[in-house]
Structure 1
Amino acid sequence: MKDRLEELQGNVEKYDNDEDLNIAKHFAVIDMDGESMNDVFYKVNFLGNAIDKLAELINIIQSLQNAMLAPLPDIQSRNKLEEKILEIRQLGNTIRKNLNEMKKMQGMDTNTDEKNARQRIIEIHTDILTERFCDEMNKYYKSVVTYQEQCRTRIARQMQIAGFENTDDEIDKLLENGHSFLYPEIRVQLEKEKQTLYDMEARHLDIMKCEDSIRELHALFIDLADLINRQGADISSIADHVKNADEYLETIPHILPSKKSNRPAKKVILSLSSNSPLPYVQQQLIRYGDSIFLIFGVSGCCLNILLLSRRQFQTSSCCTYFQALSVIALIHITIALGLYLYTLDNIDPLGISIICKLRFYIVQSTAMMYRWCLTIACFDRYALSSADVRLRKFANVKIARRVVVAIILIWLVLTLHIPIFYNTINHICIIYNNIFASLYHSAFLTLTGCIIPISCMAICTLLIHRNLTLKRQRRQQNAPKAKENEKLQSRRDQQVLIMLLVQMIFYSITVIPLMTMYFYNAITIYLSKTLARIIIERFALFITEMINFLFPVCSFYLYTMASHMFRVELKAMLYSFLKLQWLKKNISIRPIDYEMKVKPKPTAHAIEFNSNKLERITEVSQERKNLSPDIIQ
């Protein structure tokens, strides 16, 4: 029998080799114990467990959402819900990241057969896990949307119960901020907190404004420090002058230690310390110049009042304005110049706040009153010379008295800002450290006391000239033969026009310098000035104030020089006054029996007096007939 063991073993080896070739040709062999497949199965198991945990968290969130929708939700449930939502978000991000890594692992093998088999395994597991993840996340999003809709419905119902009307956008904002429920008490508390927040913001703004003010004050102090440093030499010179003055006073043995002798010494020290003769010049101008102004101004205003109170002037509305102007100017001059003269040898009462405010209030209000009385008087003369009947009705005495009362009341009200703005600082009555008040006061005085009155008077003067020209032309057409009357009326018209021009020009000259100084002081209120500049500016302001006093002081003398009839009536008034005084001195008391027995014969002096009186009365009456009342100043 033939031994066939070796042949069979060879056939078996051959068959095994062929089978191995067929398996390698048609199938892929994968090493399941390799590191790559272990990583794959580890990620598959990790993702499966993570998706199972995600499903458990979604179920927990659904239960917590149902608890939050209860009538009395717990704050702990709300906190747990927020924690679980945060865990879901973190877990979802982790799962999404691992799925992306598995997709990247599909092309990592070098062997093509093994690569295809491994890729199919990863794709199958990736698709299954992705589908499970998407299903769970869709379930989570669906529960979140349902919960938000229920919360929106609940908040809207609670708002309606509480009486609040809110739009859908406002409710969405509440949901975005995490308010899933809202009670009326919470809403009231929220409103209180908002009001508290508004108050805090308002206080913050106040603090910011206070900070800005502190910064401005700091800058002001820095400027003040610079000014003090720059004026160190001036202060040293002042101290030297005071020391020299004290030594000089000690060397004079005959100076008495009385108050009257000490006051001039103090003024000499002040003039020496300022190192300028201007304060001394100003004192002398107050002593002599204001005294002359006060004497002539008071006497002129009193004569104006007495003269315009006569019967001949009571029928003229223009004289009513000038009589009121004289009364107001008398008050203005007495208070303004009287206080200047009082402060020469006495303590300045303007250091008291009330007197400071009242003095400037009365002086400025009376100044505005007499300025506008003059302006309305010009308009009254324009109305009197107009051809319009309705406009001529304005030139009436009753209307003039009402207008005067209205002017007084208006300027008492419009100048009320003066006692508010003026204050006493270091015994000086000024508008201190307020640029707005200073500019307003200067602009107010410039417009109402200078620009507007002068413009009105100039316009009225031009209109009066036009009306007088038209009136003269009408007279020439209506009565060509009356040459004498025409010449007389022409002279009267020229006199009226000259009087208006003189008043307007004199008023403009006296008021414009003062208004210019007011405006200059308002602009330079914050500039750092040297002592010499301050002294010069105060002296210039004093000179402009003295020029401004010229108009009320010289009004009587202007009327006397410009108006012939004014001079005639003044002579008649003085003549009647002197006649009354002469009659008082020559009255004799005698018994009745003596008069019956002895009839006294008239002396030659008495006959001469009566004849002169008759001639004078006839002359005055003739002049009154020849002159028209419309030219009375």
Structure 2
Amino acid sequence: MSTAMSTTIISTLTVVTFEMNRYFSILILLFGTIGNVLNVLIFHQPKHRTNPCAVYFFYASIAGLIALYSGLASRVFAIFSLDASATNATICKLRAFIVWVSTTASSWLLTYATIDRYCISCRDVRRRNLSNLRFTRRLMIFAVVSGSLIFAETFYCYVPNLRNSPLTCYGQNMACRLYNEIASALAFVFIPSIIMLIFGYATVQNVRKLLFSIAPTTSTHGTTMTMKKTDRQLIQMLIVQIILLTIFNIPLAIQRLYLTSTLNVPKSLLRSAIENLCFQLFYLLSFMSFGMPFYIYTLTGTVFRNEFMELFRFVSRKVRIAAF
């Protein structure tokens, strides 16, 4: 490949990477904010506050909002050269810590929700009894505390003003990056994904057994049937989210490990440009997983969709009353 052609390709890749970061970051942040805020409003309704799975969804949406703003807002600010985390050490470390804790907590809250749905779908009364709010609160606290302990190293490892790294605010040396990539790959992606897939599959099997074994009677109508329908749709919504969460987050985890393992390998400018484009793309896809739950729930759950429409009509009435 000629030098002129190589230079042209590098220039094109650089422009594509910059424009992708500019527009996709804003779009993901915008739609993610709208979706997560609506999730919070819907799952905060009184009828959902006693459902452990809905409580997990509620706090996962809050964690998703925090992850989106701590992870993508700096990219939007960088467009206007206003990203303080790129130059200020304190903001850099704090932002990295919040990103990792919020993303990990969100992932584990969905993991716990999967386990909760498995428990509620079991015939064993002891397992069903594990689905309760007291246990839910303990697990949520555990998720935040354990995430904070795992990624406390960011206050030492992360430094701003880095040049040869995927992000300006990043791990300062090989040891820091290696620990961070392995910890994030395991705690944020692989372990939660494996647990979610296992319990998700087991839940589907349990639901199938229940559907085939329960004969319709007069007692299955009314409130009881409605609750069962809600539980089934929560499972359906959760399964779809698990699949997409796994698909969107695994590429970034692999790319991070690859970049760290080849940190000391000499690379051409073209190879660096390609790797940077891949990293930025996978980074955006990873954060897209925190912005899409509302749209997944709306498409896959009729109960959730109906509640959203009720919320929309309620807000519309309030707006009309306020206008007059």
TM-score, length of structure 2 as denominator length: 0.87
Q: Which residue of 2 aligns with 1:374?
A: 110
AA of the residue aligned to 1:315:
T
AA of the residue aligned to 2:36:
C
Distance 2:227 2:79 in 1: 52
Residues 473-522 of structure 1: CA distance to partner in whole angstroms, max 9, x if unpaired? 4423xx57989899999977864554333112101110011011011012
Could you tell me which of 283, 290, 296 is aligned with 1:545? 283
- The structural deviation recorded for 1:327 is 0.8
Q: Which residue of 1 aligns with 2:91?
A: 355
Q: Which residue of 2 aligns with 1:287?
A: 22
Q: Which residue of 2 aligns with 1:429?
A: 169
Change over 3 Å in CA distance of 1:433–1:287 after alignment to 2: closer
Answering whether residue 16 of structure 2 is matched by residue 319 of structure 1, we say: no
Residues 105-143 of structure 1: CA distance to partner in whole angstroms, max 9, x if unpaired? xxxxxxxxxxxxxxxxxxxxxxxxxxxxxxxxxxxxxxx
Distance 2:9 2:156 in 1: 32
- The structural deviation recorded for 1:283 is 2.0
Distance 2:155 2:9 in 1: 31
Q: Which residue of 1 aligns with 2:269?
A: 531
Q: Which residue of 2 aligns with 1:441?
A: 180
**8 A contact 1:425–1:432 mirrored in 2:** no
Report the 3-state secondary structure (helix = DSSP H, G, I; strand = E; otherwise coil) of the residue aligned with 1:553: coil
Answering whether residue 37 of structure 2 is matched by residue 302 of structure 1, we say: yes
Structure 1: where are the runs of 5+ without partners? Answer: 1-233, 238-271, 587-633
AA of the residue aligned to 2:156:
I
Could you tell me which of 433, 443, 455 is aligned with 2:194? 455
Change over 3 Å in CA distance of 1:538–1:383 after alignment to 2: same
Distance 1:540 1:395 in 2: 41
Distance 1:373 1:487 in 2: 27
Q: Which residue of 2 aligns with 1:625?
A: none
Answering whether residue 312 of structure 2 is matched by residue 574 of structure 1, we say: yes
**8 A contact 2:92–2:159 mirrored in 1:** yes
RMSD of Structure 2 on Structure 1 (CA): 2.9
Residues 599-631 of structure 1: CA distance to partner in whole angstroms, max 9, x if unpaired? xxxxxxxxxxxxxxxxxxxxxxxxxxxxxxxxx
**8 A contact 2:53–2:234 mirrored in 1:** no
Structure 2: where are the runs of 5+ without partners? Answer: none
**8 A contact 1:320–1:401 mirrored in 2:** no
Q: Which residue of 2 aligns with 1:500?
A: 238
Answering whether residue 149 of structure 2 is matched by residue 419 of structure 1, we say: no
Larger relative contact order (Cα-Cα within 8 Å, sequence gap ≥ 6):
2
Between 415-424 and 286-295, report the one with greater CA deviation.
Answer: 415-424
Distance 2:200 2:256 in 1: 28
State the percentage of identical aligned residues.
25
Between 510-519 and 440-449, report the one with greater CA deviation.
Answer: 440-449
- The structural deviation recorded for 1:459 is 1.3
Change over 3 Å in CA distance of 1:490–1:308 after alignment to 2: closer
Change over 3 Å in CA distance of 1:286–1:445 after alignment to 2: same
Distance 1:512 1:470 in 2: 32
Change over 3 Å in CA distance of 1:346–1:318 after alignment to 2: same
**8 A contact 2:236–2:301 mirrored in 1:** no
Report the 3-state secondary structure (helix = DSSP H, G, I; strand = E; otherwise coil) of the residue aligned with 2:202: helix
Could you tell me which of 183, 201, 210 is aligned with 1:471? 210
Distance 1:483 1:369 in 2: 37
Residues 238-276 of structure 1: CA distance to partner in whole angstroms, max 9, x if unpaired? xxxxxxxxxxxxxxxxxxxxxxxxxxxxxxxxxx89952
**8 A contact 1:325–1:369 mirrored in 2:** yes
Q: Which stretches of structure 1, 4 residues or longer, exceed 3 Å deviation after superposition? A: 272-275, 424-428, 479-498
Change over 3 Å in CA distance of 1:424–1:490 after alignment to 2: closer
Alignment of structure 1 residues 43-442 onto 2, 5 Å: 275-349=10-84, 350-424=86-160, 426=162, 428-434=168-174, 436-442=175-181
**8 A contact 1:468–1:493 mirrored in 2:** no
Distance 1:475 1:348 in 2: 58
- The structural deviation recorded for 1:398 is 3.3
The structure with the largest alpha-carbon Rg is: 1
Report the 3-state secondary structure (helix = DSSP H, G, I; strand = E; otherwise coil) of the residue aligned with 1:559: helix
